[in-house]
Amino acid sequence: MKRAAIAMLFLLCTGACMRAQNAGCAVPDQMTKDQKIPCVKAGRLMVDQPTLTPQQLANGPDFDPAAPEQSRWDYFTEADNPSCYFRPHYAFAKVKGDSMKFQCWHMTSDGAFYDTKGGLIRVDAVKVVTKPSKDGETSVKLYASTDTNNEHELKADYFKVKYLKPPFPNHNPRFNEAFTDIAATRIMWVLGFPADHAYPLGSVACIGCGDDPFTNDLKGNTASLKDTPNVFKVVDAERELPWDTIKPDGDETWSWHDAAKFYSDGTWTHQQKVEYDAYRLALGLIFYHNAIPQQNRLSCAAWGPKVEGQARVCTQPMMYVHDLGSTFGKERSALDVLGQNPRGSFSDWEPQTVFSNLGACELRATMDGDKQVLKDAQELMIQRLQRLDPQTVKAIFRTARFQIMDQKQVRELRDSGAADPEEAALEQWINTFLKRIEEIRTAKNCKAN
């Protein structure tokens, strides 16, 4: 599909990035969870760093500068207010999470569906069919209502939406992921780390969603295409990276504990170790500290040639955090057992420096690994961070709408007499982030190579 081709253009590793000492990993049809460990051993965490124009940065990874009109359905901006048809998903998820979200099939304003290549699917009425699949998950498919035997699935495009509750501006800051996802994934994209694609939306009008599909655990959708949609305002839309996930028994995760072990016991190459430490530095910029496997995805960016009678070989297994919403905040107190990690909170994020000990190059969030990072990783990040100049950082934070995310911050600035409290809030986020970059540049005594 076109989106995959565009994403690959920017994200696939070439040259030194993929010069590993291994030949990938086998991915058999009936893969067990233990059999994915070789893919983690062969895994990579970085891709080639893209060179982006301001227009590319504003429109995001799915925008094709060579064909801007043809790729228009593929990305979103804050000015967009798309329509969609609810796709049941999270009510069936093994690990549902806590953020308010739903999936929906992408529609045009006149009631047609987009297919996965941007073409149109026109149908008078549809039905949603769910049933258990072989990998233990529940398959959800869309058919024309006249397709009695469910023989011709409508291959409609769909995306994920994160929404606020209550609606903006009185929302619970727990759901600030609708903002933080956009900034975190854009930062990773600019630096050359795999990340899902997240976009701001002015609103989304969803048919069959109800007013709170996540909390209500909606498992179906029987709405007519002519029913009045529910409108969710100030939301974000997300698309997964167009790589094949490696997920035996529906488990696509990888463990930071395993990664730290392969780092320390000599299993990984030096290049893999450098990428691991560089990734931890990048995550430190946004203070991602949640080292749980459920947030991680193991994918295959490229496959070897098929050999009859043998398992497929993934020549480019990739590891990354696919859910970067719990960022720009802090870790909850150890005494707050039932609480949540604050996110998108300036007063909480401001003290969370990349390093707990700048003079010893010791990370604040170690992600189950060593406190120190390699000097080579620091130098690689210093080079890549040149792309995050003040203008680029401001563009990313403005696209993510950080100027309105933390309403407590905005109120405090207004009460203090700021002429433009939203602009002042944006400048606080930018200046603090630039200090984080300076930390990485000036850290001392990183590990010898």
> Hey, CA dihedral for 373, 377, 379, 384, is it positive or negative?
negative
11 φ, ψ (degrees, to nearest 5): -110, -25
* Residue 449 belongs to some domain of the structure: no
What is the extent of the structural domain holding 386? 2-442
* Residue 67 belongs to some domain of the structure: yes
State the Cα–Cα distance between residues 251 and 32, nearest whole angstrom. Answer: 9
Total domains in the fold of the chain: 1
State the Cα–Cα distance between residues 443 and 382, nearest whole angstrom. Answer: 11
* Residue 202 belongs to some domain of the structure: yes
The pTM is what?
0.94
Per residue of the chain (449 residues), give pLDDT as tens.
445 444 444 444 444 344 444 579 999 999 999 999 999 999 999 999 999 999 999 999 999 999 999 999 999 999 999 999 999 999 998 888 889 999 999 999 999 999 999 999 999 999 999 998 766 679 999 999 999 999 999 999 999 999 999 999 999 999 999 999 999 999 999 999 999 999 999 999 999 999 999 999 999 999 999 999 999 999 999 999 999 999 998 899 999 999 999 999 999 999 999 999 999 999 999 999 999 999 999 999 999 999 999 999 999 999 999 999 999 999 987 766 667 899 999 999 999 999 999 999 999 999 999 999 999 999 999 999 999 999 999 999 999 999 999 999 999 999 999 999 999 999 999 999 999 999 999 999 999 97
State the Cα–Cα distance between residues 369 and 373, nearest whole angstrom. Answer: 9
Residues 215, 148 contacting (CB under 8 angstroms): no
Residues 158, 103 contacting (CB under 8 angstroms): yes
* Residue 308 belongs to some domain of the structure: yes
* Residue 387 belongs to some domain of the structure: yes
Nearest to 319 by CA among 364, 409, 258, 396: 258
* Residue 448 belongs to some domain of the structure: no
* Residue 408 belongs to some domain of the structure: yes
* Residue 447 belongs to some domain of the structure: no
